[in-house]
Chains A and B, each alone.
Chain A
Amino acid sequence: MSLEKPKPRVAVYICHCGKNIADVIDMDEITEYAKHIPNVALAKNYKFMCSNAGQDLIAEDLRSGKIDRVVVAACSPLMHEETYRRVLRENNFNEFFFEQANIREHASWVNLRDHKGAMEIAKDHVKMAVAKVSNDRPLIRQKVKVTQEALIVGAGITGMFAALDLANKYKVHLVERTPTIGGHMAQLDKTFPTMDCSACITTPKMVEVGRHPNIDLLTYSEIENVDLNVGNFDVQVRKKSRKINHLICTGCGACGEVCPITVPNEFDYNMGYRRAAYVPFPQAIPAQYTIDIDSCIECKLCVDACDVNAIDFNQEDEIIDLKVGSIIIATGNDIFDPSKLYRYGYQKYKNVLIAIEMERLLSSTGPTLGKVIRPSDHKTPRRIAFLQCVGSRDFHEDTHKYCSRVCCMYAMKQARQYKEKYPDSEVFIFYIDIRAFGKGYEEFYEIAAREYGINFIRGRIGDVFEKNDGSLIVRGNDSLLAEKYEIEVDMLILSTAIEARKDADVVGRFFGVQCSEDGMFMEAHPKLKPVDSLSMGVFIAGTCQAPRDIPDSVAQAKAAASSADNFMASGEVEIEPYYSMVQPEICSGCRSCIQLCPYDAISFDEITNTADINAIKCKGCGVCVASCPSNAIIQNHFTRNQILSEVRALKPWENYIIKN
């Protein structure tokens, strides 16, 4: 009797990907080549393997009984592995009898001109995939129950909308760092392109979030720790002490009135003041007060002033443990600090402002109650200028290459608001290009130029000088007229870039989310998975992923909410069965693997004197596999045999020897 395993019968399908692969790699040559690789039963090529017709091709061959394993040589497995696995599944084959050879991202696209070189790589990648698939073993995906609660980090407009959508079905924990929700939008006065009042649309949503029975609002709180158990994330939140008991505080404001300490108000970008006992702005949610313990001198005048005895200086930070099934990160953006671009004079000249400060000046709830004044003499400026792309579309160090997408629009918005308030004033916008790309945006631009008489001058400002009276001279080159300009203005507003939060990398690390080159959170796929992260069950939305305006942020919030819903809805999630197993008959009982496992998945069985891995706890990193001195541990789908067979499929000497 023969104990030999039946020989694998591998089918290789090579995808043209339209012309993406076929233009570089000769399809007939590689198909012929594939046919002669050991274990290959048939090889075919097709225009689009991922299309229905392409999938049918595989299904037919599977059903014919001629093949039992599949290799598709096409794009990256990160793109379509799931698509092809499904074909196997639907045709009653184990979905893990599949490997994808990456001949697009790793061959044709990086060697567009070197066709011969690309072919060599493609052949090698196909060979390796055949070797690996020949050693694949049937596996079953693990099913894990998903906790029916969600965590949202950041309560700007994005986080709030995501929370409201999800809260109809799930309990939502909304964690916000500052004492109030609302984010940047709460700081705006009006919003382009419709010019509706920002507060009128934000405040009702904030109230809704604050009152929603399914939303557990955790403001003034920080993420402390996260255990990334897919579907059952363990999250620790630090609720910072406010020294005021929010269950009792009525938000009457008596403490703020007696507090003798005034400090600049962050909410007004330090242009207004607040007390040490404060709410950031009158419509803040929650409406209860907070004592900023860093500026408080503990005079305790407020303790006596509070009629309901809500103030408690013994209150400590509280650590809250949550278990959630999915997570949405909506931590928004920071704003570029232009003081490092000395030539624009920010923080050197008093009358150079940044746009978000102007936003507060224009706001009827701002520090000047909507009156635009220049900081040097509190007079209303008659001539103002906006400078676009400050920190964006710049190749210098400390600036950003990307376009921040909202600055053209908000500058025009502010210019229009200013003109409405002071009709006989003059406004200049210095720009490189005006980018008005959204619905109704170009029309907004046209009205700004035509009806508001705003002067658009193409060409960045080169230098800014301050006159004795605080007015500013701006100089530059008008690139349309090809001549120099020198203009005197009362105030200059810098349209500063939107940039990643300073602590984005730290926050990303908690959730296993990577940052892109520009520092913002990276999506799993730029087109097909715009709100997914590479970390399963963790989604990203809003300006933490890339600069965008409110309509786009809300669209992403809703997309992320529906993705999170999708993820939790069935109550179960399937995870890759790449866990590792100890072969007890080989294990020598040395215990060296036990402390290496970062997830405490390995225990020691004192009776058999061997190690044992808990398949649910194991995340499949393979550290123990590589470290076991007895080679007793196997990692599913990445066995030693498989990896060695891939390496051995390569013949690094071949071409060289032939040539010499």
Chain B
Amino acid sequence: MVKNSDFEPYIVCFACNWCTYTGSDQAGVSRMQRPADVRIIRLMCSGRMEPRYAIEALKNGADGVIIGACHLGDCHYLEGNEKAVRRFSVFNKFIEEYGMNPKRFQFWHISASEGAEFTEHIKEYVSELKKIGPNSRKKIAAKEFKKLEEALIQ
């Protein structure tokens, strides 16, 4: 069993350029402190987000994946976020089927001015993930990577 003690969750956030990405910038400018657990990948709209990116991150052992989208009605491209919501509506169920805790995937609506909300959400999410414990895929991912590396060296 993997131990939970001093485990820092590893979170990948896919952030829409117009809202969550800018909101996270705003959190930075205002020096709002949050756990150092979030890596942000910028997309132009949450509508660009594909399930496979989230799967890839989870498969590699990420403890949480977040999609950061505009509030409904506020999408810069009218309704990209609505389409993303629909596209990901069963994603939690899907990863649960594969034996993962459905909370490992999150769909948030954070506007460009909600740096404080983003920070708060992350704090809550991190403590939730600490309760859930590390993603058990980490070991497999590490092994697979080792194999790949060895194959490359040979």
Q: Which A residues are within 8 Å of any B CB, using their own CB?
A: 76-79, 102, 104-107, 109-114, 116-118, 120-121, 124-125, 128, 509, 512, 514-517, 522, 526, 534-535, 578, 596, 598-599, 619-623, 625-627, 635, 638, 640, 643-644, 646-648, 650-657, 659-660
Contact = CB atoms under 8 A, between A and B. Distances in A.
Contacts of B22: 78, 534
24 contacts: A105-B29, A106-B28, A111-B33, A117-B36, A117-B37, A509-B74, A514-B111, A514-B113, A599-B78, A621-B75, A621-B76, A622-B44, A623-B45, A635-B44, A640-B50, A647-B53, A647-B56, A650-B39, A651-B60, A652-B10, A653-B138, A653-B142, A653-B145, A660-B3
A626 B131 CA distance: 33
A514 B18 CA distance: 9
A621 B76 CA distance: 8
Q: Which interface residue of A76, A596, A640 has the most chain B CB atoms within 10 A?
A: A76
A517 B61 contact: no
B47 A622 contact: yes
Contact of A121 (B39, B41, B50, B141): B39
B124 to A, nearest CB: 16
A124 B10 CA distance: 11
A621 B47 contact: yes
B87 to A, nearest CB: 7
A102 B26 CA distance: 13
Contact of B77 (A516, A598, A655): A598
A627 B83 contact: yes
A110 B35 CA distance: 8
Nearest to A517: B113
Contact of A117 (B7, B35, B41, B135): B35
Given A652-B57, A652-B135, 5 more contacts: A110-B33, A117-B36, A599-B78, A647-B53, A652-B138
Contacts of B24: 105-106, 110
Complex A-B, nearest 6 residue pairs according to Cβ-Cβ distance, in ascending order: A117-B36, A622-B48, A105-B28, A621-B77, A623-B47, A653-B138
Contacts of A105: 24-25, 27-29
B57 A647 contact: yes
B45 to A, nearest CB: 4
Interface of B: 2-3, 6-8, 10, 12, 17-19, 21-22, 24-25, 27-29, 31-45, 47-50, 52-53, 56-57, 60-63, 73-80, 83-84, 87, 111-114, 116, 119, 134-135, 137-139, 141-142, 145
A583 to B, nearest CB: 16
A621 B28 contact: no
Contacts of B6: 659
B138 A657 contact: yes
B44 A620 contact: yes
A422 to B, nearest CB: 45
Contacts of B60: 647-648, 650-653
Nearest to A127: B39
Given A105-B24, A106-B24, A113-B33, A625 B112 contact: no
B73 A509 contact: yes
Nearest to B48: A622
Contact of A660 (B2, B8, B29, B49): B2
Nearest to A514: B112
A655 B39 CA distance: 15
B31 A106 contact: no
A626 B7 CA distance: 34
Nearest to A519: B113
Contacts of B43: 622, 638, 643
B48 A638 contact: yes
Contacts of B36: 107, 110-111, 114, 116-118, 120-121
Contact of A623 (B19, B48, B56, B116): B48
A644 B56 contact: yes
A619 B138 contact: no
Given A534-B22, A635-B48, A623 B28 contact: no
Given A640-B50, A657-B138, A522 B112 contact: yes
Contacts of B74: 509, 514
Nearest to B17: A78
A512 B135 CA distance: 39
Contacts of A659: 6
Contacts of A516: 113
B77 A638 contact: no
A621 B134 contact: no
A621 B44 contact: yes
Given A105-B28, A650-B12, A623 B80 contact: yes
A102 B21 CA distance: 10
Q: Which interface residue of A77, A514, A515, A535 has the most chain B CB atoms within 10 A?
A: A514
Nearest to B122: A110
Contacts of A124: 39
Given A110-B31, A514-B111, A646-B41, A598 B80 contact: yes
